[in-house]
Structure 1
Amino acid sequence: MHDVIVVGGGPVGLYTALLLRQAGLDAVVLERRTERSNHSRAIGIHPPALRALAAGGIADELRARGVPIRDGVARSAGRHVGTVSFSTLPGSDQYVLAVPQAVTEEILERRLQEQFPGTLRRGVAVLTTRDDGDRVLAVTRGPGGDATLEARLLVAADGARSSVRDDAGIRAPRRSYPDCYVMGDFQDSTQDGDDAVLYLETGGIVESFPLPGGVRRWVVRIGRPMDRPTAEDLTRLIRNRTGVTVDPRTNSMLSAFEVQSRVAERFVAGRTVLVGDAAHEVSPIGGQGMNLGWLDAVRLAPIIAASLRDGHDVAGRLALYERERHAQAALARRKAHINMALGRPLPAPVMRFRNAVLGALIRNDAVHGGVARAFTMQ
């Protein structure tokens, strides 16, 4: 009988387990993948998440291996629209930290293994889960065959298509959007340094973010899904929209995706608690999803410890967790709606007028500070 079974060994599941083990609980992480993925989609770590990660003792290593983005620059048709500086943010982390997700997972997994060997069990798929009232059961299939594990609590960190959420009978209606993107990582051929750059163009937005090692990520909005994008396809889109030449031979990651979102109707059901994308999937545009999951974990772990280790009645605190995190997920989804709307195609005259208004607003100190806080989940 474990204290907690965490289903899903992504960045949110790993950090949840690390906090639970540091609190003195017997927690295990079940991950169906036998190896870590090198495919990095999430890259931005926002200041509130950095503060949350400091609780587990990994924020400093992430800072050492990331690129601090201190300014976001908007351009259109070769002209400067405005710059949002994060220097006005409260606290010491006045930036968004760009770290490839593969690096983040490697740090989390290594820290978990060093401090609590055996917590992460790779190659173990969870076939089904069941709440028996006084315990929860997880039927698994792994290298040693099928097995049934028992725990006092189950944490679902198994992503947007969570089977644990389905087993718990929690509905999570899906919402689709008319937004598709293709993105890739290339050697940085620009002079933009550590700035993030948003190209607000009539054909749709192009986003550009620095990564460690002289790499830059490019994200381009497209009109319809692209099943098998090539590096040449993406660099052609970048050049046609922005005039920037990117060498397709330097491509190290390529991905295309459509946007959807879902927020679970409940985050707590009996002995099952949802975190991360299992609880709330939001558009990756704006980079909020992984950060939301870490904020879930740092809020949830003390509640679980107070219940399972100290024997406190935490029903009220779990209800408050659900309300607070549900509200934060709804806010993140609204921000994602705005981010996507700003990136959609517009006729040239409308685009010029819209950009002139945006530039004037950014130059207003009060508005500038609000935009900086909104972009960094403050």
Structure 2
Amino acid sequence: MSACDVLVVGAGPSGALLAAELERLGVEAVVVEQRMDPSPGSRAIGLHPPVLAALEAGGATERILAEAARIPRGIAVVEGRAVGQVRFDRLPLRFPFVASVPQAVTEAAVSFGGPDPVRGVRVVAVEPAPDGVRVRAESVDGSPREWLAGTVVVATGASGRRLVSGLVSGRSRAYPDRYLMCDLAAAPGQPSGTAVITLGAHGVAESFPLPGGGRRLVAREAPEGAKGASASGGSDAQRLAEAVETRMRAPELAAMVREAHPFGIRRALLDRMVIAGSIIAIGDAAHEVSPIGGQGMNLGLLDAATLAPVLARARQGRLRSAGAAHGARPSSEHREALSRWERDRLASARTSARIAGLNTMLGRPWPRTTASPAGALLGAALRTPLARLPERAYSMGLDRRA
């Protein structure tokens, strides 16, 4: 059996960031990962202002911004007419924009200086023990692996909830909404540095800037047989192209769609993130929210960035009081710090889940008779100081870390 201060399960963005930050703060961390290669498990692209600020001390922000497209504003379009905008560049922020960058770039930036993951290892059980946390795993060849850790952090994404399902309760819900997505290397006619959100009678269609002048296109699928559904069926790419042409009124963009990837959305929130004092769930393992609005990966990164100093201070306290790197009983000060961290992160996750739910609702088809009046009302609101609320919400300004 191997021993370590902190064992991180999962080498995605949240797990990689946590391990790198712990190493930077002088805490030994071991990362185990089931994937044999670092190909991303999701396609998240947007990094919000609080995350960019949180990553700055470790140098990840500079590495990310060297390759990112910056999105200082977004415009809302209803039935082909621009009705208003949200502008992050008028908020008093260190980084008044959303940085758009491929997830692989984010993973490389946040993992810089951290430990190399132990790959090809599937964790099968995480068990509290008197002397720490026992982690049972198996390698790809079937051989058993086992660790004893002072703290175990589950950062595997949604699949990792199985590791804590017997230790903590939670709530989960699958939405009926389905979406299609593709990335284009070039996007003629799209406004530079601007996200375009089209709403109305057929459901949402979105266009987000990518580095190098590309665009990410996302459209909600109309249920089969519903108004606005494609009469001809067709492939995923054909249905996305049709949505881009009819909703966004961008035929030249639609003609560039060659493939599309369908996805659904879920909401899952654990009641707790700190379990038995030394098992901690972060990211999608603890709180999965709809990607519509782009806050899921950001929540996980903020979990990791704020957890690392809490764990580092706890280790320093144990070394001073017990002379041991792991296995010592956590102090009341550490328990209270973890409790404060948990309260803040759960509150932030619930806020993001509500925002994501609102985004999902707005992205559904609007009754045709009310689409134009609703668009006019939305535009009027965005021309008043009320616009500051969506600007704060969509830049994660309501997160406890902001």
The TM-score normalised by the length of structure 1 is: 0.92
Q: C-alpha distance in 1, partners of 2:14/2:236?
A: 30
Q: 1:294 to 1:284 in 2, by over 3 A?
A: same
Q: Does 1:240 align with 2:246?
A: yes
- Determine helix, strand or coil for the equivalent of 2:372: helix
> Which of 373, 381, 393 matches 1:361?
381
User: Is contact 2:236-2:261 (8 Å) kept?
Assistant: no
> Which of 134, 138, 145 matches 1:137?
134
Residue 45 of structure 2: aligned partner: 43
Q: C-alpha distance in 1, partners of 2:271/2:234?
A: 34
Q: C-alpha distance in 1, partners of 2:22/2:128?
A: 21
Q: C-alpha distance in 2, partners of 1:37/1:234?
A: 25
User: Is contact 1:179-1:222 (8 Å) kept?
Assistant: yes
| Matched letter for residue 175 of structure 1 | R
> 1:250: Cα distance to partner?
6.0
> 1:265: Cα distance to partner?
0.9
> 1:228: Cα distance to partner?
10
> 1:348: Cα distance to partner?
2.0
Q: Does 1:230 align with 2:227?
A: no
Higher alpha-carbon deviation: 6-15 or 82-91: 82-91
> 1:24: Cα distance to partner?
0.7
> Which of 107, 111, 120 matches 1:105?
107
> 1:60: Cα distance to partner?
0.7
User: Is contact 2:290-2:353 (8 Å) kept?
Assistant: yes
Residue 6 of structure 2: aligned partner: 4
1:139-194, CA deviations, whole angstroms, 9 ceiling, x for partnerless residues?
A: 12225732111111100101123246435511222122232111111231323122
Q: C-alpha distance in 2, partners of 1:82/1:23?
A: 45
Residue 317 of structure 1: aligned partner: 337
Residue 73 of structure 1: aligned partner: 75
- Determine helix, strand or coil for the equivalent of 1:346: coil
Residue 167 of structure 2: aligned partner: 169
Residue 396 of structure 2: aligned partner: 377
> Which of 291, 303, 322 matches 2:298?
291
> Which of 224, 245, 261 matches 2:267?
261
| Matched letter for residue 388 of structure 2 | G
> Which of 303, 306, 313 matches 1:306?
313
Residue 199 of structure 2: aligned partner: 200
Extract unaligned runs of 5+ from structure 2: 319-330, 398-402
Q: 1:247 to 1:31 in 2, by over 3 A?
A: same
Q: C-alpha distance in 2, partners of 1:39/1:278?
A: 13
- Determine helix, strand or coil for the equivalent of 1:173: strand
| Matched letter for residue 66 of structure 1 | A
> Which of 325, 329, 341 matches 2:361?
341
**Structure 1 residue runs of 4 or more that deviate by more than 4 Å after TM superposition:** 225-229, 247-251
| Matched letter for residue 354 of structure 1 | A
User: Is contact 2:33-2:120 (8 Å) kept?
Assistant: yes
Q: Does 1:189 align with 2:188?
A: yes
1:5-57, CA deviations, whole angstroms, 9 ceiling, x for partnerless residues?
A: 00011101100111111111110111100112257521111000111111322
Q: Does 1:278 align with 2:266?
A: no
User: Is contact 1:172-1:263 (8 Å) kept?
Assistant: yes
| Matched letter for residue 273 of structure 2 | F
Higher alpha-carbon deviation: 155-164 or 45-54: 155-164
User: Is contact 1:156-1:164 (8 Å) kept?
Assistant: no
> Which of 97, 113, 124 matches 1:127?
124
- Determine helix, strand or coil for the equivalent of 1:162: helix
Q: C-alpha distance in 2, partners of 1:165/1:87?
A: 41
> 1:237: Cα distance to partner?
2.0
| Matched letter for residue 130 of structure 1 | E
> Which of 20, 33, 54 matches 1:52?
54
User: Is contact 2:16-2:114 (8 Å) kept?
Assistant: no
1:196-249, CA deviations, whole angstroms, 9 ceiling, x for partnerless residues?
A: 001112110101001012210011011349999532331122112222122566
| Matched letter for residue 52 of structure 1 | A
Residue 148 of structure 2: aligned partner: 150
User: Is contact 2:12-2:107 (8 Å) kept?
Assistant: yes
Q: C-alpha distance in 1, partners of 2:90/2:288?
A: 29
User: Is contact 2:47-2:98 (8 Å) kept?
Assistant: yes
- Determine helix, strand or coil for the equivalent of 1:56: coil
What percentage of residue pairs aligned between the two structures are identical? 38
> 1:262: Cα distance to partner?
0.8
The TM-score normalised by the length of structure 2 is: 0.87
Alignment RMSD (CA, Å): 2.1
- Determine helix, strand or coil for the equivalent of 2:245: helix
Q: C-alpha distance in 1, partners of 2:115/2:280?
A: 24
Q: C-alpha distance in 2, partners of 1:338/1:327?
A: 17
Extract unaligned runs of 5+ from structure 1: none
User: Is contact 2:70-2:97 (8 Å) kept?
Assistant: yes
Q: C-alpha distance in 1, partners of 2:337/2:16?
A: 23
- Determine helix, strand or coil for the equivalent of 2:38: coil
- Determine helix, strand or coil for the equivalent of 2:260: strand
> 1:345: Cα distance to partner?
0.5
| Matched letter for residue 367 of structure 2 | P
> 1:76: Cα distance to partner?
2.1
